[in-house]
C-alpha cells in the first residue's frame, strides 16, 4: 500500500460513494481536512461475482444470517452421526454429491461418493435443498461449518475447525485489491485452506481479472491450476475446498467441459513450508489457533522456534510461516485473534513482523456478535507487505498503519493511524474514533499501578486440582477462609460474596500454607471476561471490614487482586472506581487484544493523576469527569467526534 491521504484511501476502498464521515487531520498533514468514508456493503445475493466492485463490499452484519437455521439443522443431524468422525465425513460427502447432482451436474462424477451410508437419506436431501439456493461462498461456509460441528470435539479443537464467513474473506480480498495486488498475475496460497473461505472467492476474482483482459475460459482454468495453492491437514476439507472452487468457476467449466486440477494438498503446513519456495505473491490465512504442546516445540524449525516464548499459540507460528512463504514485496493477509497485538508471549512475533513486514492495515472486528460459529474471540484482519531482505535494517521510512473498525452493527470505519513499535512491545491501536486522543495518554503513562503503590496477585486456588478442603459454611472453623470467585465480582462493581451461595464458599488453609491467605483490603478483578461484556475491567473493592470479619481471604485462580503497599496513594474503593470508569476501560482495550485481563497489561495501563481525581471528586464532580481531568483530557473521550490523525510518536506506547 502506497502512502496515501485519507481521501485516497477512502476513494480506493469505496469508489463513487458520498463521504459520510469527516475527519480532521493533525497539524503534520499537508492536506488539512481528511475524509474517511463509512459504508455498508452488500454481497451479491445468489450468484458469485467477486470481480470488480463486489470484492470491496462486505455485508453488515459480519455475522452470517443463517446461524439459527444452521443450529436447528445441526441438532437434527447430530444423532445421525452418533459422535463418529467417519459418519460425519460420510454425511458431508453424500450431501456434497447430492448438491452437485442438483446444481452442478458436471461435477457430480468427480464428487461422487459411493459409500452406501446415507443413501436415499431424507436428511441429506433436506440439507442439500437448504444449501442449493445459496451463493457458493455461503454454502461453502455452512457445509464446512456443519462438518466441523459434527466431528468429535477433539478433532475440531486439534485442527481449529472454525471457518471465515464470506463477509470477512471478502473484506480480506478488498484490502488486497486496495493494496494493489494484480489478481491476473499473482500466485496465491492459503496454507490452512479449510473449506476454501479464501480460495473460492479468490478464484472468482482471478477469473474476472483474466476475463477483463480477454483471456479465454480454458486459459483461465489452466491459470488457476498454477496460481492457486491450498494446504490443509484435513483430507475431507481438501476435497471440499476443491469442490467449492470448482463451483465458483462452474460457468467456465460448463463452457469448456474442462475441470482444472487444483493444487490443493493435504499436509502439515509447518513441515510443507520448509520444502516450499517463498514464491507466493499473496498469502492468505485464517490460521489454526490452539496452544502448541511443549513436546511438539522440538519439531519446529529453528526459525519458528525463535518466535516462541512460553507456550506459543499455533497461529503465531502460522503467521511467521505466512511471511516466509511470501515473495519480497509480497502480501500477507491474516484473520487471527487479536491477542497477538498485546500478549506478552507474542513479543518475539511482533518484533519479527515489524522487522520483516510493513504493517499496512489492521481491521478490528467489533465485538458484539460472534463472527465465527461457536468461537468467542476478538478478531483482527491484518494486512502486511513483506519487506525485501536487502531493505531490512535500512533507515527506510515506515508507514503508519491504518486501523479500521469493522463490525456487525456499525459500518466499516477508519478509526485512526498508528505506528507499530519495533521492539516487540504491544501494538497500541485505537478501537474507536474517540480512542485516538487516548493514545497520547497511554504513551505518557505518568501514573501506573506501581506509582499508585499497588501490586498485583493472582488468586492461587485452582478448583480442579487443589486438594484443600472446601466447604459451604464456615462453621466457626478458624482456618476456613472465604474463597473469592470471579462471579463474586458484580458487573456493576458490587462485591457479591455474601449474596451468592457457593458449595466451595470457604477453603481450609493449613498454617504452613498461610502465604495464600490475603490479609489486606484489595481490588478484585475478573481475569477473564466475555467478548460481549460491556467492560473489560470488572472490578470491586474487597474492603477492610470484610478482612476484619474473616481474618483474610483466598482468591480463586480467575481473580486478580490489586493490593496496596505502604506507598499506596489512594484506598481500594477509589482505585476500583477508577478502573471501572469508561475512560480507563477504553484505554485498557487499546492495549489489550483479548478478553483476558493479565497482570502485565494492568501494569502497562496509564492511570489518571490520583491527586487531581481526588480534588475533582471533592468538588463533587462525577467520577468520569474527575478521571478525564486526571488524564488532562479536556473533554470526555466519548464526546470526541472527529478522528484525528495520530502522530507516529503519539501512537507508540
Interface with ligand SAM (CB under 6 A): 159-164, 190-195, 197-198, 231-234, 237, 268-270, 286, 288
| Nearest distance in Å: CB 20, ligand SAM | 30
Using the minimum distance from each CB to ligand SAM, give the nearer residue, 267 or 642: 267
Using the minimum distance from each CB to ligand SAM, give the nearer residue, 251 or 299: 299
The dihedral sign for the CA sequence 476, 477, 479, 482:
negative
Using the minimum distance from each CB to ligand SAM, give the nearer residue, 197 or 602: 197
Q: Which residue has the CB atom at the shortest distance from ligand SAM?
A: 194
Residues 369 and 362: their CA atoms lie apart, in Å, by 19
Using the minimum distance from each CB to ligand SAM, give the nearer residue, 162 or 404: 162
How many residues are there in the chain? 653
Q: Measured at the alpha carbon of residue 287, what is the angle toward residues 373 and 97, in degrees to the nearest 5?
A: 60
| Nearest distance in Å: CB 189, ligand SAM | 11
Using the minimum distance from each CB to ligand SAM, give the nearer residue, 295 or 467: 295
| Nearest distance in Å: CB 501, ligand SAM | 40
Contact 41, 56 (CB under 8 A): yes
Q: How far is CA 122 from the centre of its chain?
A: 38
Task: Kindly give, in sequence order, each residue whose CB lies less than 8 Å from that of residue 441, ignoring residues fewer than 6 positions away.
Answer: 587, 606, 631, 632, 633
Using the minimum distance from each CB to ligand SAM, give the nearer residue, 61 or 191: 191
Contact 222, 177 (CB under 8 A): no
| Nearest distance in Å: CB 88, ligand SAM | 14
Q: Which of 230, 188, 194 is nearest to 209 (CA)?
A: 188
The residues pairing with 562 across neighbouring beta strands, listed in sequence order, are 456, 523
Using the minimum distance from each CB to ligand SAM, give the nearer residue, 269 or 653: 269
Helix (H) or strand (E) holding 250: helix 250-256
Q: How far is CA 580 from the centre of its chain?
A: 24
Residues 629 and 609: their CA atoms lie apart, in Å, by 8
| Nearest distance in Å: CB 138, ligand SAM | 13
Task: Kindly give, in sequence order, each residue whose CB lies less than 8 Å from that of residue 337, ignoring residues fewer than 6 positions away.
Answer: 289, 315, 377, 378, 379, 380, 593, 594
| Nearest distance in Å: CB 323, ligand SAM | 16
| Nearest distance in Å: CB 296, ligand SAM | 10
Q: What are phi and psi of 559, to 5 degrees?
A: -120, 140
| Nearest distance in Å: CB 159, ligand SAM | 4
| Nearest distance in Å: CB 48, ligand SAM | 16
DSSP state letter for 553: B
| Nearest distance in Å: CB 225, ligand SAM | 20
The residues pairing with 414 across neighbouring beta strands, listed in sequence order, are 404
Q: Which of 291, 265, 423, 289 is nearest to 347 (CA)?
A: 423
| Nearest distance in Å: CB 71, ligand SAM | 19
| Nearest distance in Å: CB 148, ligand SAM | 8
Using the minimum distance from each CB to ligand SAM, give the nearer residue, 288 or 416: 288
Using the minimum distance from each CB to ligand SAM, give the nearer residue, 191 or 541: 191
Using the minimum distance from each CB to ligand SAM, give the nearer residue, 311 or 641: 311
| Nearest distance in Å: CB 399, ligand SAM | 27
Residues 27 and 295: their CA atoms lie apart, in Å, by 53
Using the minimum distance from each CB to ligand SAM, give the nearer residue, 178 or 232: 232
Cell of 397: 521510512
DSSP state letter for 446: -
Using the minimum distance from each CB to ligand SAM, give the nearer residue, 192 or 407: 192
Using the minimum distance from each CB to ligand SAM, give the nearer residue, 96 or 652: 96
| Nearest distance in Å: CB 326, ligand SAM | 16
The sheet that has 506-508: what strands, in order across it?
Answer: 470-471, 506-508, 480-484, 554-555
CA dihedral 300→301→306→311, nearest 10 degrees, is: 0
Identify the burial level of 36 via C-beta atoms within 10 angstroms of its C-beta, where 0-12 means exposed, 13-18 middle and 19 or more buried.
buried
Q: How many helices (H) and strands (E) does the chain have?
A: 23, 19
Using the minimum distance from each CB to ligand SAM, give the nearer residue, 70 or 198: 198
Q: Which of 114, 105, 245, 256 is nearest to 188 (CA)?
A: 245
Using the minimum distance from each CB to ligand SAM, give the nearer residue, 251 or 268: 268
Burial 549-569 (b: 16+ CB within 10 A, else e): ebebbbbbbbbbbbbbeeebb
Cell of 150: 459434527
Residues 317 and 251: their CA atoms lie apart, in Å, by 38
Residues 375 and 163: their CA atoms lie apart, in Å, by 10
Q: Are strands 480-484 and 554-555 parallel, antiparallel or unpaired?
A: parallel
| Nearest distance in Å: CB 283, ligand SAM | 11
Amino acid at each position: 500500500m502506497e502512502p496515501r491521504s485519507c481521501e485516497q484511501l477512502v476513494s480506493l476502498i469505496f469508489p463513487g460513494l458520498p463521504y459520510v464521515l469527516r475527519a480532521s487531520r493533525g497539524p503534520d498533514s499537508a492536506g488539512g481536512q481528511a475524509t474517511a468514508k463509512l459504508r455498508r456493503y452488500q454481497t451479491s445475493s445468489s450468484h458469485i461475482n467477486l470481480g470488480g466492485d463486489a470484492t470491496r463490499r462486505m455485508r453488515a452484519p459480519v455475522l452470517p444470517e443463517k446461524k439459527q437455521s444452521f443450529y436447528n439443522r445441526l441438532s437434527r443431524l447430530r444423532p445421525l452421526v452418533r459422535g463418529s468422525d467417519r459418519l460425519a465425513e460420510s454425511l458431508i460427502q453424500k450431501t456434497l454429491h447430492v448438491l452437485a447432482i442438483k446444481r452442478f451436474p458436471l461435477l457430480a462424477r468427480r464428487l461422487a461418493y459411493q459409500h452406501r451410508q446415507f443413501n436415499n437419506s431424507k436428511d441429506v436431501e433436506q440439507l442439500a435443498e437448504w444449501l442449493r439456493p445459496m451463493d457458493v461462498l455461503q454454502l461453502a461456509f455452512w457445509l464446512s461449518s456443519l462438518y466441523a460441528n459434527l466431528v468429535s470435539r477433539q478433532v475440531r479443537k486439534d485442527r481449529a475447525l472454525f471457518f471465515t464467513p464470506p463477509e470477512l474473506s471478502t473484506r480480506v480480498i478488498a484490502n488486497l485489491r486496495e493494496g494493489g495486488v494484480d489478481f491476473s498475475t499473482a500466485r496465491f496460497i492459503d496454507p490452512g485452506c479449510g473449506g476454501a473461505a479464501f480460495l473460492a472467492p479468490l478464484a472468482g476474482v482471478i477469473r474476472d481479472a483474466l476475463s477483463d483482459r480477454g483471456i479465454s475460459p480454458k486459459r483461465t482454468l489452466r491459470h488457476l491450476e498454477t496460481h492457486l495453492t491450498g494446504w490443509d491437514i484435513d483430507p475431507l476439507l481438501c476435497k471440499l475446498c476443491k469442490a467449492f472452487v470448482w463451483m465458483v468457476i462452474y460457468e467456465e467449466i460448463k463452457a469448456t467441459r474442462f475441470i482444472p486440477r487444483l493444487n490443493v494438498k493435504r499436509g502439515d503446513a509447518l513441515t510443507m513450508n520448509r520444502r516450499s519456495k517463498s514464491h507466493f505473491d499473496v498469502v492468505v490465512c485464517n490460521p489454526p489457533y490452539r496452544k502448541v504442546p511443549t513436546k511438539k516445540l522440538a519439531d519446529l524449525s529453528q526459525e519458528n522456534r525463535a518466535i516462541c516464548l512460553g507456550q506459543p499459540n499455533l497461529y503465531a507460528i502460522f503467521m511467521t510461516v505466512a511471511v516466509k512463504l511470501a515473495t519480497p514485496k509480497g502480501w500477507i493477509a491474516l484473520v487471527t485473534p487479536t491477542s497477538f497485538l498485546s500478549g506478552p508471549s507474542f513479543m518475539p512475533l511482533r518484533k519479527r513482523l515489524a522487522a520483516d513486514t510493513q504493517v499496512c492495515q489492521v481491521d478490528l472486528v467489533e465485538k458484539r456478535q460472534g463472527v465465527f460459529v461457536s468461537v468467542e474471540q476478538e478478531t483482527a484482519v491484518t494486512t502486511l507487505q513483506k519487506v525485501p531482505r536487502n531493505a531490512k535494517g535500512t533507515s527506510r521510512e515506515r508507514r503508519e498503519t491504518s486501523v479500521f473498525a469493522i463490525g456487525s452493527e456499525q459500518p466499516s470505519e477508519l478509526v485512526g493511524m498508528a505506528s507499530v513499535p519495533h521492539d516487540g512491545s504491544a501494538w497500541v491501536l485505537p478501537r474507536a474514533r474517540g480512542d485516538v486522543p487516548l493514545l497520547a495518554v497511554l504513551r505518557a503513562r505518568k501514573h501506573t499501578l506501581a506509582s499508585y503503590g499497588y501490586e498485583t496477585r493472582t488468586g492461587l486456588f485452582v478448583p480442579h486440582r487443589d486438594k484443600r478442603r472446601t466447604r459451604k459454611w464456615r462453621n466457626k472453623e478458624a482456618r476456613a477462609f472465604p474463597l473469592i470467585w470471579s462471579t463474586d465480582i458484580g458487573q456493576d462493581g458490587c462485591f457479591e460474596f455474601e449474596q451468592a451461595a457457593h458449595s466451595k464458599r470457604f477453603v481450609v488453609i493449613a498454617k504452613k500454607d498461610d502465604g495464600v491467605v490475603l490479609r489486606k483490603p484489595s481490588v478484585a478483578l475478573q481475569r477473564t471476561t466475555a467478548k460481549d461484556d460491556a467492560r473489560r475491567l470488572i472490578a470491586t473493592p474487597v474492603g477492610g471490614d470484610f478482612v476484619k470479619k474473616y481474618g483474610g481471604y483466598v482468591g480463586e485462580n480467575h481473580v486478580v487482586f490489586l493490593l496496596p503497599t505502604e506507598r499506596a496513594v489512594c484506598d481500594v474503593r477509589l482505585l476500583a472506581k477508577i478502573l471501572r470508569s469508561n475512560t480507563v476501560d477504553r484505554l485498557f482495550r487499546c492495549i489489550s487484544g483479548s478478553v483476558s485481563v493479565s497482570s502485565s497489561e494492568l501494569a502497562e495501563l496509564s492511570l489518571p493523576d490520583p491527586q487531581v481525581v481526588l480534588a475533582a471528586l471533592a468538588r463533587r464532580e462525577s467520577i468520569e469527569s474527575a478521571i478525564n481531568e486526571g488524564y488532562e483530557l479536556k473533554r470526555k473521550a466519548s464526546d470526541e467526534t472527529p478522528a484525528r490523525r495520530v502522530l507516529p510518536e503519539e501512537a507508540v506506547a
